[in-house]
Amino acid sequence: VTPPDLSAETILITAGPTREELDPVRYLTNHSSGRMGYELARAARNRGARVVLVSGPTDLPPPAGVSLFRVTTAQQMRDTVLEQVASCSIVIKAAAVADYRPMLRSGEKLKKHEHRLTIELEKNPDILAELGALQNRPFLVGFAAETTDLRTHALAKLQAKNLDMIVANDVSQVGAGFNVATNIVRLIRRDGHEEQLELMSKELLAHIILDRIQESRQRAV
């Protein structure tokens, strides 16, 4: 039985990959399944929060009772998040946002002619960094999927994006990261709290992340 300890909160959660189109039939994306974000949305809802779930393309059934906004590209995710954020006390950015998008999107299917094809990419907006720069920012939680120097990179992101907490996972480990039901993470908070968690289900991890958010906010009061 979960207590409704988040019933005063509106929590915005982003989940899944984004998809950056090259032409009407092709796109760039990554291996994110959306599972971590969907487990967070379900856990937060079960604990009484109002949940706004902004989801990139996934095959997962959305949890009942959450406000779901489906988006495709990073730019759409950014626009939706910025529209919704004013009503939210906590934002958890579990989405694997594509860092780059093709400079040009062809209206027609690209034809094969040459031996080599060069595609120019331009940078997508960093949604989390934009949220970190807001005057009145919500409690901000980011994710960091890394393959090397996990702690160093995660700490740098926490600082650079002005976050309250970061969930760092080494996606090169078996049982961690993309497209599996489990994860192995290190939680690092701005207030100095830091802990390495064992391999566990994303469902249990979602609850621990919410617990640590609550603890941090209660300390700050």
Instruction: Please identify which residue in 55, 124, 169, 183 interacts with ligand C5P, judged by CB under 6 A.
Output: 124
CB of 160 to ligand C5P, least distance (A): 8
User: Is 169 a residue that touches ligand C5P (CB under 6 A)?
Assistant: no
Instruction: Please identify which residue in 45, 50, 93, 101 interacts with ligand C5P, judged by CB under 6 A.
Output: 93
User: Is 91 a residue that touches ligand C5P (CB under 6 A)?
Assistant: no
Residues 51-90 that bind ligand C5P (CB under 6 A): 74
User: Is 97 a residue that touches ligand C5P (CB under 6 A)?
Assistant: yes
Active-site position among 30, 136, 169, 179 = 30
46 is catalytic: no
Q: Select 47 or 157, whichever has its Cβ closest to ligand C5P.
A: 157
CB of 26 to ligand C5P, least distance (A): 21
Q: Which residue has the tokens 């529209």?
A: 83
Binding residue numbers for CTP: 99, 109, 125-128, 143, 157, 161
Which residues form the catalytic set? Answer: 30
